[in-house]
Amino acid sequence: MTTYEEVESLIVKKLKVKPQKISRVKEGLINEVFDVTTEKGNYILRAEPLDSIKGNRLEKFMKRFYRRKIIPNRLIVRDDSGKRIKKSYMIYEKIEGVTLNEVYEELSKEEIREVLKEAIIKARMINKIKTTGFGDIQDDFKGVESSLIEEVFDWLKNNLTLLIVNKQLESEVVSEINNLFYSNIKLFQNVKPVLVYQDLNFGNIIVKDNQFQGLIDFDGCISGDPIRTYTILYLNTIGSDYEQIVKELLNLSKRKRLKLKLYVILFILRFMRKSLEGKYDSVKNYGGLTIRQVLDKVLNKIKYRRK
């Protein structure tokens, strides 16, 4: 675990200023995140194991996003030498404000619409960065899978298998999900991969004075289908007062709306599997729905549209 003394030493060495306040924001299995206040400005220090490849990816993402004006905060330094601390670390400017998740109840629907509109615009700018392959991305912006169909149906099979074994889904629901994917397999053909910010949600949108400030948390960027960008945002707002706002802002064709619902189903299956493994406690839904209720609602939406 990185100590506050080590964080202070790094800030003094790299930024030539003594921290006024240091707060530990996150302490995960892989990385640690610190919020650092100084007289020169506010910064984020992120530390992770030396053998982690996430830092390499995040460094490249942030530099490219900053050049393209996708994000307003600059990466100051990254060091994976292990000389000052036995970890790789990076320091970057902090976007001032709070997450939309913290203040959405205080905002009007019109204010939320404007914030989400700006966030979607930035996420779509990320989609303009071309990649190759699909799935988890490597240092060269190349996905580990050569086929989107292979990635999607492996994901479907692996998650369903575990959920069936643990009796988390009824056989008729499993059959319905399989039929949906196999009858719509063409939706996943001939897709040109791009960089996908798949963590677009209220918790990663920064606002200040009720206005959009920026996006955070790019660890989960993948190479894939641009429609996947909206999966968690849509999943979180299904059945809520914000679902219609998201639909209107996305303005997707009928074909793309169906594909988005299929991606939502995939994410729900993953969340259910992760929950079995004790890795997720719950999924935020602003309509107060459980993850299973969201699944049922999505399946019903698809049934209704097919009639």
Nearest-angstrom CA–CA distance, 76 and 183: 49
Using a pLDDT cut of 70, give the percent of the chain over it: 95
Residue 92, pLDDT > 60, answer yes
pLDDT at 305 over 80: no
- Write out the two tokens for 94: 């902090």
pLDDT greater at residue 239 or residue 220: 239
Do 213 and 240 reside in the same domain of the chain?
yes
Final residue belonging to a domain, choices 37, 68, 93: 93
Bigger pLDDT: 30 or 204? 204
Judge if 22 and 158 occupy the same domain: no
Same domain flag for 86 and 107:
no
Same domain, 255 and 294: yes
Assign residue 27 the CATH number of its domain. Answer: 3.30.200.20
The pLDDT of 239-254, averaged and rounded, is: 97
Angle (deg, nearest 10), helices 291-306 and 254-276: 150
The structure tokens 């989609």 sit at 127
Q: Do 88 and 103 sit in the same domain of this protein?
A: no
Asked whether the beta carbons of 212 and 114 are under 8 A apart, the reply is: yes
Final residue belonging to a domain, choices 56, 71, 93: 93
Please check whether residues 76 and 211 belong to one and the same domain. Answer: no
Residues 166 and 36 in one domain: no
Which residues, at least 6 apart from 105, have a Cβ–Cβ distance to it below 8 Å? none
- Domain co-membership, 103 together with 129: yes
Model confidence pTM above 0.95: no
- Domain final residue, candidates 93, 128, 160: 93
Closest CA to 242 of 105, 98, 118: 105
CA distances (Å), origin 68, targets 41, 49, 72, 222, 291: 23, 29, 10, 18, 36
Q: Which residues of 197-211 are buried (b: 16+ CB within 10 A; e: fewer)?
A: bbbbbbebbbbeeee
Give residue 210's pLDDT. 96
Q: Are residues 148 and 130 in the same domain?
A: yes
Percent of the chain with pLDDT over 90: 80
**Residue 22 is part of which domain span?**
4-93
